[in-house]
Structure 1
Amino acid sequence: MQKIKNMFLPENIDLGQSEKYILTIRIKTNGFMFSISNPNAGKSFCLRDTTFSANDNYLDNIQRTIFDLNFLTQRFKKTNVIFVSKDYDLIPASYSDNKEKEVLYDFTHVDKVNHLSSGLIESQDIVTLFNIDQKVFEFLSRNLWTPQFYHHANLLVNLFEKRGGNENIPRMHLNFHDEFMDIICFSSGKLLHCLSYENEPINNQLYFILKLWEQYKFDQLKDFLYISGNGDKFIISRLHDYIKNIEFANAPSEIHFWSNDAQKAPLDLLSLIL
């Protein structure tokens, strides 16, 4: 495991009063990120991250990081844990208490359920189901202060739903972060589609985007495409050949008054502290 870059916290964050701060941990298969922020003082924000060695066990990587940075186990005002993955399902909320939800999840995934978690998209009456390694879930539940677990796609749907301008105009949101691409589509305020891709070649990404645009019969001249994150220049250039209304929707305006760390934070992480 690589050392966390600049693991020292800024002077304006006083963990002697940790109850004032929100801790948000963001976990991928190959990396770990955390932010500490004061909701009453936006400039008190720091972001740190590390990458995991492919040769090490996933659980061992997480345990080592938490133990090395033992201040993460302190009592915070709120402790969030975000899991970033392409493995999730969206189901009607009415099925969320159904004992068959694990069967539903297993039916569409190669990796069977270990610990099935869920998150509500309240305005859409939809629940996100996502799988967490049972031992990882138990370790984090034991060692963090009353953590709340989220999937990154769930957070993005809630965020993008509110950021699309005229809700009557169909729209697609693309969010690029590290090796991931998320595609989220709305029409008349209704969520049509949410899917995440990981480590896909550029040409594949372009195909998936345009195929979904065609599948939902979006209009090339009237409907909107919003792009956030670090999208490849080739993809963006080609999309301009097919779609007229393309807008770039990156970090919420509030964080421009925060620290430089905030400018680098993923949108899903920011959505929990805005």
Structure 2
Amino acid sequence: MTVPIDFTQSAQYNLSIRLSTDGFSFSVFNPQDNRECFCSFYPVNARHSMAANLKQFLAETEEIKHRYKQVNILVHTERYTSVPLEWYEDELTDTLFYQNLPRRNNEVILCNVLGKSNVVILFALDKLSHLFLTEHFPEARFFATISPLTEYFCQQSKGSERRRLLVHLQPETVDVIAFGKDCLQLVNTYSVSSTEDCCYYLLGIWKQLGYDQEHDELHVCGEPAAERTEVLECLKKYVRHVIIINPRMEDNIPFDMQSLILCE
């Protein structure tokens, strides 16, 4: 059962903010007792830039103006790349990123080192949004949303005799993480416009990786629920073990945000 947050005790709590082009989510929770939890959604104006929406969000949202023990900023983006941990060096951050993605002006490249997965996620955020956030939250930690998903799934998959494919559904994208033989095999995000697109990518990846339709597992999480049901019905025609990952906390907290909390 969820317990209401007492904002007069905010210095004991963690704040997580998730930035996406379809809106901003934020949650406040007690790291000692995750029953104490608050989550809300802030709609954005699609005609305005991320930075303009963010400036308004920071000015208007009273809950984020308190002092918190820890602040996490999650950025939902397709502009990321993964690098094996043993290949990564700090001074090569920009070079490695732009080897895999086209260069853009006015962005900062950020880094998540994932110890459980032995991989580094490099991702971009526009400089003005980064400036607003660091001015408002000087000690904030920045994550690509794919990062906690990868850590959580790798943590859950190690030791399994079956190879696993994690599918994280979003309204216009699908995140795919493949884990087999105790190692991460794939991390990628695809733009999708229909159920057919989504299933095409997923079954193509399944085939390319050589996964077994009878033995290996396909895990599905995310939203919206209607599209998730359609995708599940499609996938179950071809893969025996299709497993729905149910959130352990409040249903209105995005799963990638929950995975960060669960990995803390």
Please report the TM-score for the alignment, with normalisation by the length of structure 2.
Answer: 0.90
The count of aligned residue pairs is 257
Question: 2:17 is paired with a residue of what secondary structure?
Answer: strand
1:220 aligned residue (210, 213, 217): 213
**1:234–1:70 CA distance, 2 compared to 1 (3 A):** closer
Aligned to 1:187: 180
Residue 79 of structure 1 contacts residue 145 of structure 1 at CA under 8 Å; is this kept in 2? no
Superposition pairs of residues 96-115 of structure 1, within 5 angstroms: 96-112=88-104, 114-115=107-108
Superposition pairs of residues 23-42 of structure 1, within 5 angstroms: 23-42=15-34
**1:111–1:203 CA distance, 2 compared to 1 (3 A):** farther
User: Following TM superposition, by how much is the alpha carbon of 1:229 offset from its aligned partner in structure 2, in angstroms?
Assistant: 2.2
User: C-alpha offsets along residues 132-155 of structure 1, whole Å, 9 cap, x if unaligned?
Assistant: 111111110111251110111110
Please report the TM-score for the alignment, with normalisation by the length of structure 1.
Answer: 0.87
Aligned to 1:246: 242
User: Following TM superposition, by how much is the alpha carbon of 1:71 offset from its aligned partner in structure 2, in angstroms?
Assistant: 4.1
Question: 1:195 is paired with a residue of what secondary structure?
Answer: strand
Structure 2, gaps ≥5 residues long: none
User: Following TM superposition, by how much is the alpha carbon of 1:91 offset from its aligned partner in structure 2, in angstroms?
Assistant: 0.3
Aligned to 2:60: 68
Aligned to 2:162: 169
Structure 1 vs Structure 2: percent identity of aligned residues?
A: 22
User: Following TM superposition, by how much is the alpha carbon of 1:219 offset from its aligned partner in structure 2, in angstroms?
Assistant: 0.7
User: Following TM superposition, by how much is the alpha carbon of 1:199 offset from its aligned partner in structure 2, in angstroms?
Assistant: 4.2
Residue 106 of structure 1 contacts residue 112 of structure 1 at CA under 8 Å; is this kept in 2? no
Residue 75 of structure 1 contacts residue 145 of structure 1 at CA under 8 Å; is this kept in 2? no
For 1:119, the aligned partner's letter is N
Structure 1 Cα separation of the partners of residues 256 and 193 of structure 2: 21
Residue 33 of structure 1 contacts residue 49 of structure 1 at CA under 8 Å; is this kept in 2? yes
**1:78–1:172 CA distance, 2 compared to 1 (3 A):** same
Residue 168 of structure 1 contacts residue 189 of structure 1 at CA under 8 Å; is this kept in 2? no
Aligned to 1:124: 117
Indicate yes or no: 2:82 matched with 1:90.
yes
Structure 1 Cα separation of the partners of residues 85 and 104 of structure 2: 21
Structure 2 Cα separation of the partners of residues 270 and 160 of structure 1: 12
User: Following TM superposition, by how much is the alpha carbon of 1:248 offset from its aligned partner in structure 2, in angstroms?
Assistant: 1.3
Aligned to 2:257: 269
For 2:56, the aligned partner's letter is R
Question: 1:123 is paired with a residue of what secondary structure?
Answer: coil
Question: 1:80 is paired with a residue of what secondary structure?
Answer: strand
Residue 158 of structure 2 contacts residue 182 of structure 2 at CA under 8 Å; is this kept in 1? no
1:207 aligned residue (200, 205, 212): 200
For 1:16, the aligned partner's letter is T
Structure 2 Cα separation of the partners of residues 198 and 57 of structure 1: 20
For 1:227, the aligned partner's letter is V
Indicate yes or no: 2:233 matched with 1:237.
yes
Structure 1 Cα separation of the partners of residues 6 and 117 of structure 2: 39
Residue 22 of structure 1 contacts residue 273 of structure 1 at CA under 8 Å; is this kept in 2? no
**1:120–1:101 CA distance, 2 compared to 1 (3 A):** same
Residue 116 of structure 2 contacts residue 154 of structure 2 at CA under 8 Å; is this kept in 1? no
**1:170–1:160 CA distance, 2 compared to 1 (3 A):** same
Residue 72 of structure 1 contacts residue 144 of structure 1 at CA under 8 Å; is this kept in 2? no
User: Following TM superposition, by how much is the alpha carbon of 1:189 offset from its aligned partner in structure 2, in angstroms?
Assistant: 1.5
Indicate yes or no: 2:7 matched with 1:15.
yes
Residue 152 of structure 2 contacts residue 259 of structure 2 at CA under 8 Å; is this kept in 1? yes
RMSD over aligned Cα atoms: 2.0
